Structure 1
Amino acid sequence: MKAIVSKKYGSPDVLEVTEMEKPIPTDNQVLVKTHASSVNYGNLVLLKGEPFLARFAFGLLKPKYMIPGGDIAGQVEAVGKDVKLFSVGDQVFGDLSGCGWGGFAEYVAVPENALAIKPDNMSFEEAAAVPMAAVTALQGLRDKGKIQSGQKVLINGASGGVGTFAVQIAKSFGAEVTGVCSTRNIDILRSIGADHIIDYTKENFTQNSERYDLILAVNGSHPISEYKRTLRPNGIFVHVGGSESQLFQSMVLGPWISMTGSKKIGSFLQRANQNDLVVMKELLEAGKVRPVIDKRYKLDEVPEAFKYFDEGHAQGKVVITV
């Protein structure tokens, strides 16, 4: 099979197209013929080995997982004897970040708990855009942010992969959603149902008088003090992505702020979860959420896809057609 391999940390130029043996599933694994995958921030961390602390999980001197790619959508080609949930021919999608990655390849063998049945109304490319980004948004809003119907919710970085899902998921919970983006992305936020849109090139949302029950920061570099000021009493700030300075502040200052006042500040790390994949499948099939896809690349164009994604201006998701 053809696969994209990374034997050392570095830029997208270290990625190689390689012929490898097709994997054989173990007793509790499913062999998936991959039709599509997508690029996420976690892929960049795995590629570059940055921030350095990530190397304690991904390999100190070189990547422990040679084939990147967390999101997949494809068709089941074989199942181990202990697999209960899937049969040959099933169309599935899943998140491989918790079980060895490997999505940028024509075939991958994964535990059955990394997968769910693909939404009926989604193509393979659309389904591959969902798992990591959508579940990150879901867990950040629901589990860390304790989102409730009627709340005022702000998504900073609303036009990227996680952000476009966060806007729609927050709407599905009955929240009044404000999305922050640049001028070029305003139409995207309108198309996915944002109630209010702030163009950060013209307005600093931390300087106006509006206050929010929940802020999900997917991008940006505002100091934690500015986010705190923008929260309502008992409001919650959740850091999902942004500057390293912001992450450091949320990890170090967040617990102190949370203990000494009514406002809660915290960071959040997504974890692959089969039940949450099923939740997203239901939202997608109900038409409450849809993936926004910016660009599609072929498998041997993965280095170019990484370079584009690393520029930080992707509108929604970058998908790999395998």
Structure 2
Amino acid sequence: MKAMVQDVYGPPEVLRPEETDRPVPGRGRVLVRVHAAGVDQGVWHLMAGMPYAVRAVTGLRAPRARIRGMDLAGRVEAVGPGVTRFRPGDEVYGSGEGTFAEYACAKEGALAHKPRNLTFEQAAAVPVSGCSALTALRVTGRVRPGQSVLVLGASGGVGSFAVQLAKAFGAHVTGVCSAGKADFVRSLGADEVLDYAAQDPVDGSRRHDLVLDIAGNRPLSRLRGALTPRGTLVIVGGEGGGRWLGGNERSLGALLLSPFVSHRLRPLTSLVKAADLEALTERLEAGSVSPAVHRGYRLEEVPDAIRDLRAGHVRGKAVILLEP
């Protein structure tokens, strides 16, 4: 099968097309013929081996897994022993292992049947970003109807779902993005949109019950200034910071500080799970949430997609297309 592989850590140029063996599904795993695969910031971190802390898991000197990619949408090709929810031919979406390839394996518990009203391209934009947004709001953030929610990074993959889901949960949503993406965020349903270059969204002039900081780098002290006295901050990833921990210093700081202040300060821990995918499917099929696909890229254009993402050019989610 054709796949995009890497043998060393580095910039997008380390990825190259190669013919590799098709994976074999083990117990509890499903082999999927990948029709589309999403691109997110986690792909870059694993590709680059940055921050260095990720290499403790992915390989100290070189990546153990040669194929990147987690989001997928496609058709079941085969199932391993113990799989009961899927059979060959089923259309599925979820999270897999090395999805920038024609075939990829996924745990049964990380897949769900594809929403009937979505294309494979649209479905591939959902799993990692949609489940992250859902968990950040519903579980970690404990959002309630009538609350004020501030979404920092509202135009990205997670942010585009967070704006829509927060509205669906009955919140008043303020989205923060660049001026060029304001109309896009407004189209997602945001009640208000702030241009971070023109107005500091965390200057303390307005307070929110829940703040989602998505892939940001603002200090905790600044973010707390945007919270009501008992508001909640959810840190969804982070960029910048040092080479060893990247933006994760803030997550550690939030855990240490939270017991001593009135605010709830929480880093997001999120996995793609079938139950969350099914919850998203209900809203996707009902039309209250819709994936925002920036554009489709061919498999050999994965490096271009990652470069566009890192440069801030992507609105919503970039998707790799592998349909025959």
Q: TM-score under structure 2 normalisation? A: 0.94
Query: Equivalent residue of 1:108, what SS?
Result: strand
Structure 2 residue aligned with 1:127? 123
Matched, 1:136 2:132: yes
Structure 1 residue aligned with 2:35? 35
Change (3 A) 1:128 1:248: closer
Query: Equivalent residue of 2:38, what SS?
Result: strand
Displacement of 1:200: 1.0
Structure 2 residue aligned with 1:170? 166
Displacement of 1:11: 0.7
Change (3 A) 1:6 1:248: closer
Amino acid of the structure 2 residue aligned with 1:139 = T
Displacement of 1:296: 1.1
Distance between the aligned counterparts of 2:249 and 2:230, measured in 1?
A: 19
Aligned 8 A contact 2:38 2:319 in 1: yes
Q: May I ask how many residue pairs the two structures share in their alignment?
A: 318
Q: For residues 19-70 of structure 1, what are the alpha-carbon distances to aligned partners after superposition, in whole Å with 9 as ceiling and x for unaligned?
A: 1122232343222111000111111111000000011111111112111010
Query: Equivalent residue of 1:300, what SS?
Result: helix
Counterparts in 2 of 1:1-322, with a 5 A limit? Answer: 1-96=1-96, 101-207=97-203, 209-245=205-241, 247-248=247-248, 250-322=250-322
Distance between the aligned counterparts of 2:286 and 2:60, measured in 1?
A: 43
Q: For residues 83-107 of structure 1, what are the alpha-carbon distances to aligned partners after superposition, in whole Å with 9 as ceiling and x for unaligned?
A: 10011111000112xxxx2101101
**What are structure 2's unaligned runs of at least 5 residues?**
none
Amino acid of the structure 2 residue aligned with 1:148 = R
Amino acid of the structure 2 residue aligned with 1:68 = R
Displacement of 1:253: 3.3
Amino acid of the structure 2 residue aligned with 1:191 = S
Distance between the aligned counterparts of 2:265 and 2:215, measured in 1?
A: 16
Displacement of 1:313: 2.9
Q: TM-score under structure 1 normalisation? A: 0.94
Distance between the aligned counterparts of 1:55 and 1:67, measured in 2?
A: 15
Q: For residues 125-150 of structure 1, what are the alpha-carbon distances to aligned partners after superposition, in whole Å with 9 as ceiling and x for unaligned?
A: 00000000111111111121111111
**What are structure 1's unaligned runs of at least 5 residues?**
none
Amino acid of the structure 2 residue aligned with 1:50 = M
Percent identical: 43
Deviates more, 1:73-82 or 1:173-182: 73-82
Query: Equivalent residue of 1:205, what SS?
Result: coil
Distance between the aligned counterparts of 1:182 and 1:312, measured in 2?
A: 10
Amino acid of the structure 2 residue aligned with 1:161 = G
Q: For residues 152-178 of structure 1, what are the alpha-carbon distances to aligned partners after superposition, in whole Å with 9 as ceiling and x for unaligned?
A: 000001001110001011111111110
Aligned 8 A contact 1:239 1:247 in 2: no
Aligned 8 A contact 1:257 1:264 in 2: no
Distance between the aligned counterparts of 1:249 and 1:45, measured in 2?
A: 16
Amino acid of the structure 2 residue aligned with 1:145 = G
Amino acid of the structure 2 residue aligned with 1:166 = A
Query: Equivalent residue of 1:206, what SS?
Result: coil
Aligned 8 A contact 2:9 2:47 in 1: yes
Distance between the aligned counterparts of 2:249 and 2:34, measured in 1?
A: 39
Change (3 A) 1:256 1:115: closer
Amino acid of the structure 1 residue aligned with 2:278 = V
Query: Equivalent residue of 2:121, what SS?
Result: helix
Displacement of 1:210: 1.3
Change (3 A) 1:206 1:26: closer
